[in-house]
């Protein structure tokens, strides 16, 4: 296997390809030779062009990595990046660039940066941008555009990129002149991370990036019209605190905003201090340690039975950094129907959007939780409630069957991967059954270790996300992509990038030769008619991985699981395990779409 690692260095082919490889920046992990090509470590020279101002803005913002694909209209920016210390990771497809940058943003907390050219480059980014928008991930997209004089003429590779991306960005800008373009980028970067994070985009016409300017980018700041309220109204905080003190059946519901707002620690302290059971949403996985006895894990469509019972029967719901998405709430009418809702969110528009907030607390999650912590003097008297939650925990245990004589069960594989890795290991996923098993059966204890596509549900997210996560993670954090066969097939060209960069990631494809979640729904709701869901035409992923220069493994039996996982994790570089799981395995518990969370089904016949 080690001879494969030697093939990792960039070849001449890549240099001549239009998709020019990344800059001459030294990369200790891959090619020592390239270090010789590095030049200038001096103080930055004044900018002379729009493109230089763009790259200067990124450098000033402390950007270390950018993910992208070359192309005509973005070439001026790439030409400047070539000499920058920013490490550009050439991706095989722009969608992968957006996902990699998105995952980089999730793991690092700083906006990930992706680049693409105009037209198809920009439209290929759109899925990744929309994904970041739904999940409030900080992301900055820079797209090339045809020269200003051609805009509107249907020029070659012209797309109205700001028009196309308006519904899926926090904000976007069409750069209109070289003097301002640096500041446009600075502002977009700041906007992507401030307040509720999200994707921003700057569209860069070629004449603007080629245009002369000596204007350095302004210092980072968000636009004057952008306001973020950080502290919640103290009167409402006091009322909410009183409600918590008097609660009989309190529950905390931690969403992705807890992680993005760095409020995990504050929430953990609050919950433990007042002994309040904690539920997370799927994006909130890792906000509270799932091995803690107060943890009821994840609620929602495929949440645990105990979380769904608790959320249904609570009388006080403290929702923090959650937007009460339909996959969490099920039918609105039956969602926590007895609960007074305390809703903490930095985005006022989330308050009472889906679930009415009795105590609306707009502000930064960490600050507001601290405000609440100061205001709550007495813990709620909820001994009985906690005992009830524990009872549900045993009533609706997440145990599963794994008989030796049947094909490998996916839950077993997820647990084996969890076992074989450290607490800080990062999990990325695609979308579907494998994602749910990864959410249910991996025990998350740390924030920023779960990297998935929640709101948009983008199949193919897992591998490019693993690439971005790997570059943002610490060296001692393993990066495991739990993928599905259908999802993996959508973006597996990214393996070439992982091989070129020699990224230490392990992809475990839970291969059931179905687009499994669809197959599960067809069995439950479409009389078992498997329209277009049969994926028995998959390639052999282990061999495909080898063809890319990665290390391939295959698992068919329980006996192979632990050992193969060990080997794949030990391999220093990208590895792919094609795990042939039980094709009939289903994800349960399940609350059918729009259903009552408390009426989750444990088997298909309960649906």
Partner 1 sequence: MKRGLEGPPPEERPTPAGRRNKQGIRIDPEVEATHEPRRTVISALVAHEPGVLSDVSGLFSRRQFNIESLTVGPTEDEDRARITIVVEEPDPGIDQVEKQLRKLVPVISVRELEPDAMRRELALVKVDAEDPAAVSAVADMYDATAVDSSPETATFEITGSRQKIEAAVDTFSQFGIREVSRTGLTAMARGTDQTAGADLTAQPADEANYSDATQPADDD
Residue ranges that bind partner 1, judged by CB under 8 A: 162-163, 166-167, 170-171, 174, 191, 223, 225-227, 229, 232-233, 236, 305, 309, 312-313, 324, 332-335, 337-340, 347-349, 351-362, 392, 395-404, 588-589, 596, 598-603, 606
Angstrom distance (rounded) from CA 113 to CA 188: 11
Q: Match 């039975």 to its residue by tokens.
A: 305
Measured from the CB atom, the residue of 96 and 111 that comes closer to partner 1 is: 111
Measured from the CB atom, the residue of 355 and 425 that comes closer to partner 1 is: 355
Q: How far is the CB of 249 from partner 1 (least distance, A)?
A: 10
Angstrom distance (rounded) from CA 364 to CA 345: 7
Return the DSSP state at 31: B
Measured from the CB atom, the residue of 181 and 576 that comes closer to partner 1 is: 181
Angstrom distance (rounded) from CA 313 to CA 138: 35
Q: How far is the CB of 533 from partner 1 (least distance, A)?
A: 23
Measured from the CB atom, the residue of 168 and 499 that comes closer to partner 1 is: 168
In angstroms, what CA-CA distances link 21 with 11, 68, 116, 423, 498? 9, 10, 14, 35, 13
Q: Does 150 participate in catalysis according to the annotation? A: no
The phi, psi pair for 543, rounded to 5°, reads -70, -35
Q: How far is the CB of 177 from partner 1 (least distance, A)?
A: 13
Q: How far is the CB of 115 from partner 1 (least distance, A)?
A: 22
From the list 149, 156, 230, 566, the catalytic residue is: 156
From the list 134, 436, 517, 590, the catalytic residue is: 517
Measured from the CB atom, the residue of 170 and 500 that comes closer to partner 1 is: 170
Beta carbons within 10 angstroms of residue 171's beta carbon: 19
From the list 157, 229, 388, 599, the catalytic residue is: 157
Torsion on CA atoms 161, 162, 164, 168, rounded to nearest 10:
130
3-state SS, one letter per residue, for 479-528: EEEEEEHHHHHHHHHHHHHHHHCCCCEEEEEEECCECHHHHHHHHHHCCC
Angstrom distance (rounded) from CA 144 to CA 180: 16
Measured from the CB atom, the residue of 358 and 567 that comes closer to partner 1 is: 358
Q: How far is the CB of 268 from partner 1 (least distance, A)?
A: 24
Q: Match 């220069």 to its residue by tokens.
A: 549
Spell out where 380-459 has E strands: 426-429, 450-451
Measured from the CB atom, the residue of 375 and 398 that comes closer to partner 1 is: 398
Angstrom distance (rounded) from CA 212 to CA 208: 8
Q: How far is the CB of 366 from partner 1 (least distance, A)?
A: 17
In angstroms, what CA-CA distances link 563 with 311, 541, 558, 569? 39, 18, 10, 10
Measured from the CB atom, the residue of 192 and 376 that comes closer to partner 1 is: 192
Beta carbons within 10 angstroms of residue 539's beta carbon: 14
From the list 206, 301, 340, 478, the catalytic residue is: 206
Beta carbons within 10 angstroms of residue 325's beta carbon: 17
Q: Extract the tokens encoding 498.
A: 């992982």
CB 277 within 8 A of CB 252: yes
The phi, psi pair for 590, rounded to 5°, reads -145, 130
From the list 52, 67, 94, 553, the catalytic residue is: 94
Angstrom distance (rounded) from CA 58 to CA 140: 10
Q: How far is the CB of 495 from partner 1 (least distance, A)?
A: 34
3-state SS, one letter per residue, for 232-282: CCHHHHHHHHHHHHCCCCEEEEECHHHHHCCCHHHHHHHHHHHCCCEEECC
For residue 375, which of 230, 277, 245 has the smallest C-alpha distance? Answer: 245
Q: How far is the CB of 128 from partner 1 (least distance, A)?
A: 19
Q: How far is the CB of 354 from partner 1 (least distance, A)?
A: 5
Q: Match 């919950």 to its residue by tokens.
A: 271
Angstrom distance (rounded) from CA 9 to CA 16: 15
Q: Does 95 participate in catalysis according to the annotation? A: no
Q: How far is the CB of 309 from partner 1 (least distance, A)?
A: 7
Measured from the CB atom, the residue of 20 and 299 that comes closer to partner 1 is: 299
Q: How far apart are the first and last CA of the chain?
A: 48
Q: Extract the tokens encoding 373.
A: 């912590």
Measured from the CB atom, the residue of 220 and 573 that comes closer to partner 1 is: 220
Q: Does 94 participate in catalysis according to the annotation? A: yes
Q: Which sequence positions are flagged as catalytic?
A: 94, 156-157, 206, 517
């Amino acid at each position: 296997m080690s001879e494969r690692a030697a093939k990792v260095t960039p070849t001449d082919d890549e240099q001549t390809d239009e998709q020019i490889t990344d800059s001459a920046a030294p990369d200790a992990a891959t090619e020592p030779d390239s270090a010789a090509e590095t030049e200038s470590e001096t103080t930055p020279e004044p900018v002379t062009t729009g493109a230089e101002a763009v790259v200067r803005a990124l450098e000033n913002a402390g950007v270390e990595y950018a993910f992208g694909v070359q192309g005509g209209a973005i070439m001026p920016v790439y030409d400047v990046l070539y000499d920058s210390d920013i490490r550009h990771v050439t991706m095989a497809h722009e969608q992968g660039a957006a996902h990699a940058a998105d995952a980089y943003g999730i793991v690092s907390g700083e906006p990930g940066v992706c680049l693409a050219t105009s037209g198809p480059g920009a439209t290929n980014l759109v899925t990744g941008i929309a994904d970041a928008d739904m999940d409030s991930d900080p992301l900055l997209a820079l797209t090339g555009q045809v020269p200003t004089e051609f805009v509107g003429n249907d020029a070659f590779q012209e797309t109205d990129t700001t028009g196309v991306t308006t519904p899926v960005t926090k904000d976007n800008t069409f750069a209109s002149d070289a003097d301002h373009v640096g500041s446009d980028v600075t502002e977009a970067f700041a906007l992507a991370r401030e307040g509720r994070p999200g994707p921003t985009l700057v569209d860069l016409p070629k004449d603007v990036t080629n245009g002369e300017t000596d204007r350095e980018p302004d210092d980072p700041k968000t636009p004057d019209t952008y306001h973020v309220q950080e502290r919640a109204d103290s009167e409402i905080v006091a009322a909410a605190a009183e409600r918590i003190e008097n609660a009989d059946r309190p529950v905390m519901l931690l969403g992705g905003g807890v992680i993005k707002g760095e409020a995990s620690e504050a929430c953990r302290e609050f919950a433990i201090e007042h002994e309040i059971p904690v539920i997370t949403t799927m994006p909130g996985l890792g906000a509270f340690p799932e091995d803690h006895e107060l943890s009821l894990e994840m609620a929602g469509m495929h949440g645990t039975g105990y979380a769904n019972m608790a959320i249904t029967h609570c009388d006080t719901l403290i929702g923090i950094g959650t937007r009460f998405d339909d996959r969490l709430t099920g039918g609105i009418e039956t969602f926590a129907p007895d609960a007074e809702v305390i809703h903490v969110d930095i985005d006022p528009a989330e308050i009472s959007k889906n679930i009415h907030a009795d105590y609306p607390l707009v502000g930064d999650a960490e600050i507001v939780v601290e405000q609440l912590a100061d205001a709550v003097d007495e813990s709620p008297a909820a001994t009985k409630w906690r005992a009830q939650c524990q009872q549900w925990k045993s009533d609706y245990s997440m145990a599963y069957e794994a008989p030796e004589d049947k094909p490998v069960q996916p839950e077993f594989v997820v647990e084996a991967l969890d076992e074989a890795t450290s607490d800080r290991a990062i999990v990325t996923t695609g979308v579907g059954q494998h994602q749910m098993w990864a959410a249910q059966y991996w025990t998350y204890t740390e924030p920023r270790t779960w990297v998935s596509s929640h709101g948009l549900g983008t199949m193919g997210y897992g591998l490019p996300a693993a690439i971005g996560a790997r570059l943002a993670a610490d060296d001692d954090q393993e990066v495991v992509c739990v993928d599905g066969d259908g999802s993996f097939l959508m973006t597996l060209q990214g393996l070439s990038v992982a091989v070129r960069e020699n990224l230490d990631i392990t992809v475990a494809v839970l291969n059931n030769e179905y687009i499994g979640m669809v197959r599960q729904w067809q069995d439950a709701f479409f009389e078992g008619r498997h329209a277009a869901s049969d994926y028995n035409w998959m390639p052999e992923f282990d061999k495909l991985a080898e063809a890319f220069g990665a290390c391939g493994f295959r698992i068919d039996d329980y006996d192979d699981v632990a050992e193969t996982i060990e080997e794949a994790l030990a391999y220093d570089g990208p590895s792919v395990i094609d795990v042939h799981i039980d094709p009939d395995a289903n994800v349960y518990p399940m609350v059918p779409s729009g259903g009552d969370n408390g009426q989750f089904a444990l088997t298909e016949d309960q649906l």
